[in-house]
């Protein structure tokens, strides 16, 4: 009797386990966790969830482009960058001002190409879509980096400017494979090991910009030997110039003379004034802080400085402000006092600006030292494993 009872009990246990396994399979499959390895993995690097890392063994440009359009998520680009050096090492200082948000810093490791890359991003719109269950967004992160470095010794960053009539870039090389400029840094740095190679292969693609979002991008490239260039897409062309800085205006002389919406000259002026005194990474952060948005909102230099929020909130820009400098200064001072009285939650809701990233990128050694968020005050380093 005991033997038969035990057999019946075992059958029931096996049956129950089978049902549980079936249900578990259904649940896991429904949530997408039972799919084959999608080519990426995620981990959180701090207790507060403000630094996340995504590692890619595969990337998919077509799916990324589809989801960027589907969820209306793009990398807006940053504000300024300048090449410098410390004890013989080549560095790039970088600041990136954007809307206040609670989105974390995203570290992207792309191991899918010929050359490995590391990058950083803080695309709040993409993150919000991601945490709301849209796992498709994960395919987009390699192309949302505002700063990228490859293991061959090239660093790249992207800046933006408002789109103007006559400057849109709908194509550069008709008949070649179509690529959005959003993909430029990841495509080129994951394939090529020198700036010369990148420039030689730019015309392998038919590039178009993201004018639908109301902005255009430029790209600053710097290698471990200290060479740096700015690549710009406009008026259905791609041009590049040797330059050791980049901001929100065209570097090409002809395009600079023709544009009316470029900005950031004072950022570069602040950096050029302090660059000769750089002796440490802390000095780089001091230099980039001098170029950050709040320095210009809070002093009279703001009459020559323009940001979209500045135009919206005060009614002035760097052109009209010259006609009424006292009124412009009063308006910017009132704006800063308004910000100072706001809570962080209010600033996030109203999408005011802060300095999201300041970067001291050691191109020689291959790492990025990052200050993330004025509000959160997080400091971390990104390097190759």
Q: Are strands 353-362 and 378-383 parallel, antiparallel or unpaired?
A: unpaired
Residue 292 lies in a domain: yes
23-44: average pLDDT = 52
Q: Is 247 exposed, middle or buried (0-12, 13-18, 19+ CB in 10 A)?
A: buried
User: What predicted TM-score, i.e. pTM, was given to this entire model?
Assistant: 0.85
160-166: average pLDDT = 81
In terms of residue numbers, what domain contains 144? 38-383
Query: pLDDT class for 1, splitting at 50, 70, 90?
Result: very low
Q: What is the pLDDT of residue 316?
A: 63
User: Is residue 377 scored above 90 in pLDDT?
Assistant: yes
290-319: average pLDDT = 53
Distance CA 118, CA 145 (A): 9
Residue 3 lies in a domain: no
Nearest to 293 by CA among 76, 100, 79, 93: 79
Residue 28 lies in a domain: no
Q: What is the pLDDT of residue 293?
A: 63
284-298: average pLDDT = 75
Query: pLDDT class for 362, splitting at 50, 70, 90?
Result: very high
Residue 19 lies in a domain: no
User: Is residue 103 scored above 80 in pLDDT?
Assistant: yes
Other Cβ atoms less than 10 A from the Cβ of 82: the count is 29
pLDDT digit string, tens, across residues 76-91: 677 899 999 999 999 9
User: Is residue 214 scored above 50 in pLDDT?
Assistant: yes
Query: pLDDT class for 268, splitting at 50, 70, 90?
Result: confident
Check residue 308 and report its DSSP letter. Answer: H
- Helical residues (DSSP H) of 222-366, grouped into ranges: 253-258, 265-274, 281-290, 293-297, 308-314, 325-340, 344-350
User: Is residue 40 scored above 80 in pLDDT?
Assistant: yes
Residue 10 lies in a domain: no
Q: What is the pLDDT of residue 15?
A: 43
Stronger pLDDT, 60 or 131, i.e. the higher one: 60
Tokens found for residue 250: 């065209």
CATH code for the domain of 364: 3.60.60
Q: What is the pLDDT of residue 231?
A: 98
Sign of CA dihedral 10, 16, 20, 25: positive
Residue 49 lies in a domain: yes
Q: What percent of the chain has pLDDT over 70?
A: 80
Residue 13 lies in a domain: no
Q: Average per-residue pLDDT in the chain?
A: 82
Query: pLDDT class for 211, splitting at 50, 70, 90?
Result: low
CA-to-CA dists, residue 94 to 297, 316, 356, angstroms: 19, 26, 11
Neighbour order of strands in the sheet with 147-150? 40-44, 51-56, 105-110, 117-121, 147-150, 154-162, 215-223, 228-234, 237-242
User: Is residue 10 scored above 50 in pLDDT?
Assistant: no
Query: pLDDT class for 335, splitting at 50, 70, 90?
Result: confident
| Best-predicted range by mean pLDDT (93-97, 258-262, 353-357) | 93-97
Residue 227 in contact with residue 195, Cβ under 8 Å? yes
Q: How many domains does the chain have?
A: 1
Helix, strand, coil proportions of the chain in percent (round to 5)? Answer: 40, 30, 30
Q: What is the pLDDT of residue 283?
A: 97
């Amino acid at each position: 009797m005991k033997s038969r009872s035990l057999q019946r009990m075992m059958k029931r246990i096996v049956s129950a386990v089978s049902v549980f396994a079936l249900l578990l399979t259904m649940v896991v499959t429904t949530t997408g966790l039972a799919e084959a390895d999608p080519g990426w993995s995620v981990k959180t690097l701090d207790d507060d969830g403000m630094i996340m890392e995504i590692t890619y063994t595969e990337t998919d440009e077509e799916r990324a482009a589809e989801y960027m359009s589907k969820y209306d998520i793009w990398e807006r680009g940053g504000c300024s960058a300048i090449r410098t050096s410390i004890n013989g090492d080549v560095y790039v200082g970088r600041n990136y001002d954007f809307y206040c948000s609670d989105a974390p810093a995203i570290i992207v490791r792309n191991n899918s190409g010929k050359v490995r890359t590391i990058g950083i991003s803080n695309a709040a719109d993409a993150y919000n879509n991601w945490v709301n269950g849209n796992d498709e967004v994960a395919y987009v992160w390699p192309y949302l980096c505002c700063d990228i470095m490859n293991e061959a010794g090239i660093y790249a960053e992207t800046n933006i400017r408002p789109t103007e009539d006559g400057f849109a870039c709908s194509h550069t090389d008709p008949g070649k494979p179509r690529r959005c400029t959003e993909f430029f840094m990841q495509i080129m740095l994951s394939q090529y090991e020198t700036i010369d190679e990148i420039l030689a292969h730019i015309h392998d693609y038919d590039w178009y910009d993201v004018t639908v979002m109301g902005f255009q991008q430029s790209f600053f490239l710097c290698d471990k030997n200290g060479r740096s260039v700015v690549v710009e897409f406009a008026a259905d062309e791609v041009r590049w110039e040797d330059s050791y800085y980049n901001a929100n205006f065209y570097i090409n002389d002809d395009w600079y003379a023709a544009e009316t919406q470029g900005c950031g000259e004072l950022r570069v002026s602040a950096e050029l004034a302090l660059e000769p005194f750089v002796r440490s990474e802390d000095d780089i952060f001091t230099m980039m802080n001098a170029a950050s948005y709040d320095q210009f909102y809070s002093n009279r230099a703001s009459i020559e400085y323009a940001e979209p929020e500045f135009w919206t909130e005060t009614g002035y820009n760097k052109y009209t402000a010259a006609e009424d400098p006292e009124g412009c200064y009063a308006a910017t001072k009132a704006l800063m006092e308004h910000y100072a009285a706001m809570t962080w939650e209010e600033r996030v809701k109203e999408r005011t600006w802060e300095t999201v990233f300041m970067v001291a990128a050691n191109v020689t050694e291959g790492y990025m030292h990052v200050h993330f968020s004025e509000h959160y005050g997080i400091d971390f380093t990104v390097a190759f494993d």
